[in-house]
Chains A and B, each alone.
Chain A
């Protein structure tokens, strides 16, 4: 055994021991006082604890080469290691039964102590679900929550993007070592998160993709958070693992309902039947978590303060094209901007990069509207139009029905529909029915 190892190295070395999970890890550390004393105790004492031969062999001859890789990774900028006894180890996560002994963090590790809300869901959401995730994440992030999720495709990814569009405070819990990005499609997302948020993993550097690790990762997502919001999850979605863990960990579970004919919300309905809180607006969540109001407000204020004194302009998040496209047409009409990408350049890029810059998005007052609207595309429409769109939300509808519901003349309704159709908000379907799109 090399004599010059630091305590940190012993933590990582013990992490790589075969057959020692988080619970046994904690027991050993408690029994011997520290990871280094576990290694130093020797065969006699290990045997007294009924350790298996393979484990004793490992303790005698740990994988220092693997540890070396971890240490190299840690030497790089913005990489951190939080051990269970570290003062910055997230307190809510420490409370769970199988808290990970070690967290690898890339990015802003102080975020781990802020109040978090997990947003999870299916990897194959509808465009409506994706928009919902983004809107809820952005709004709640502006309210003072750090948004935590699993960086999977679909709802997870949309939630991270939403939080990046908000304050940028978001935590992605990876199911692999932090030296790789999974899924590869989220390379850009991971890069953005690393700027203003944090990527974390309990798995040592070099751990490859393994399906088995994803459900286990879910317990971190829920364990870090005050509550878990499920947006679109079919009956046997992996997203339900996070909800199950949240319930087991005594955290709140929130779910957004949908049509009973929509298979993507079956899991959400199941959760509501089991006692999850039905969520229509962000207010439903804030109400349930009102006990933590002070903590959330503190995070909001602290962040504003920190961003005001911070003068280094960080790269501002840009949303990916596919999420952006629904917002584009109307914004281009209403904002006479000459920029080719108005959503990213006009709103988020500092105008004078050489000067000390205050993040403009944090200076914006949090929106007072507690209902995340379905996109911003209908905002410039007058009341009659919005009402018409609202009626169309319920599904393809005939013009007669709309006339009846709106109380306007058939001529008025049909000209309004034409305008909406030209704007790409409404499409004619089979049988002369009109449907909301986008």
Chain B
């Protein structure tokens, strides 16, 4: 086995088959570090009842892929945050099954800032787009980092809004960060990398998959103190982020609209279930009193 630094063991471990965040946590607790796990050897792995395919992988990790990851990381502005890294976002670390690795492109220090998620439907109305942009811009000027997915509609509008404000914004991707974005969002991704950060739990080269969107949602909510929903029909995928936010004990905010507007049905449902109705920025700040030293 060739000489590897700690980071490379993390990367190798990230690609291990059938190893979820929970088991990973157990193994890390037992061995102290990924390197310790790889170096422990067959006998110890077997006493822990590790599955055969996992044992086989541990003996012969995919160093080629790790090599590629390392190449990506060597480029300027690209970073890797392991669970133990001091810049790993503290709120994300608290969630059930935090991602062991985060790939970051851009300003990795803003991951530890106070963040608010803004989510909503891809098929937003003109008014919704405008609202998302205005709220994102104003909130970012008040010191909050705006976090969202990279979907069209409300999410894209929020990210643009934050870029117009302080520029501090985080886009969580559902694919490897080397992959191209939805064609309309190439410029957006480029801009975010300049003043904000693009984040993914998936190593470079990972293509987009349906299941990734759900996992992405849990990171969006997990990174943030609260999630603001602007326009979501009854079964919008934006509501997944809200479910995660509620499970993770984060605030949920929703903007109402006319009861004839089908795009507001999801928001109204959330308000009935206890989400805070938001008309102005103050409605959000009121709930974030304990963080007021971060807000100006």
Interface residues of A (CB under 8 A from B): 128, 132, 256-262, 266, 269, 272-273, 277-281, 284, 374, 390, 393-397, 401, 404-405
Could you jot down 24 A-B contacts, CB within 8 Å?
Answer: A256-B259, A257-B257, A257-B271, A259-B257, A259-B258, A260-B131, A260-B256, A261-B127, A269-B256, A269-B277, A273-B276, A278-B256, A278-B268, A278-B271, A278-B272, A284-B272, A374-B260, A393-B260, A393-B261, A394-B126, A394-B128, A394-B257, A395-B125, A404-B123
Cβ-closest chain B residue relative to A257: B256
B217 to chain A, nearest CB (A): 24
Known: A260-B131, A269-B279. A395 touches B260 (CB 8 A): no
CA gap between A396 and B125 in the complex, in Å: 9
Contacts of A279 in B (CB 8 A): 259
Contact B127 A280, beta carbon cutoff 8 Å: no
Partner of A394, one of B125, B256, B277: B125
CA gap between A259 and B126 in the complex, in Å: 13
Contact A258 B277, beta carbon cutoff 8 Å: no
Contact B126 A257, beta carbon cutoff 8 Å: no
Contact A128 B277, beta carbon cutoff 8 Å: no
Does B265 touch A at the CB level, under 8 Å? yes
Contacts of A397 in B (CB 8 A): 125-126
Cβ-closest chain B residue relative to A395: B127
Contact A259 B127, beta carbon cutoff 8 Å: yes
CA gap between A394 and B230 in the complex, in Å: 13
Which 10 A-B pairs give the minimum distances between C-beta atoms? A257-B256, A394-B125, A393-B260, A280-B259, A260-B279, A395-B127, A278-B271, A272-B277, A394-B261, A259-B257
Contact B127 A272, beta carbon cutoff 8 Å: no
Interface centre among B127, B257, B280 (most CB of A within 10 A): B257
CA gap between A199 and B278 in the complex, in Å: 39
Does B189 touch A at the CB level, under 8 Å? no
Contact B268 A401, beta carbon cutoff 8 Å: no
Does B263 touch A at the CB level, under 8 Å? yes
Does B44 touch A at the CB level, under 8 Å? no
Contact A405 B131, beta carbon cutoff 8 Å: no
CA gap between A260 and B131 in the complex, in Å: 9
B interface bracket (residues with beta carbon within 8 Å of A): 20 to 34
B170 to chain A, nearest CB (A): 25
Contacts of A257 in B (CB 8 A): 256-259, 264, 268, 271, 277
CA gap between A278 and B272 in the complex, in Å: 6
Q: Which of B259-288 contact A (CB under 8 A)?
A: 259-265, 268, 271-272, 276-280, 283
CA gap between A374 and B262 in the complex, in Å: 13
Does B255 touch A at the CB level, under 8 Å? yes
CA gap between A278 and B276 in the complex, in Å: 12
Contacts of B283 in A (CB 8 A): 273
Cβ-closest chain A residue relative to B255: A260
Interface centre among A132, A262, A266, A273 (most CB of B within 10 A): A273
Contacts of B276 in A (CB 8 A): 273
B128 to chain A, nearest CB (A): 8
Cβ-closest chain B residue relative to A404: B123
Partner of B268, one of A132, A266, A280, A390: A280
CA gap between A397 and B130 in the complex, in Å: 13
Contact B272 A128, beta carbon cutoff 8 Å: no
B259 to chain A, nearest CB (A): 5
Interface centre among B126, B260, B272, B283 (most CB of A within 10 A): B260
A387 to chain B, nearest CB (A): 9
Known: A259-B257, A266-B279, A269-B277. A394 touches B268 (CB 8 A): no
CA gap between A432 and B177 in the complex, in Å: 40
CA gap between A272 and B273 in the complex, in Å: 12
CA gap between A277 and B272 in the complex, in Å: 7
CA gap between A374 and B265 in the complex, in Å: 16
Contacts of B257 in A (CB 8 A): 257-260, 394
Contacts of B271 in A (CB 8 A): 257, 272, 278
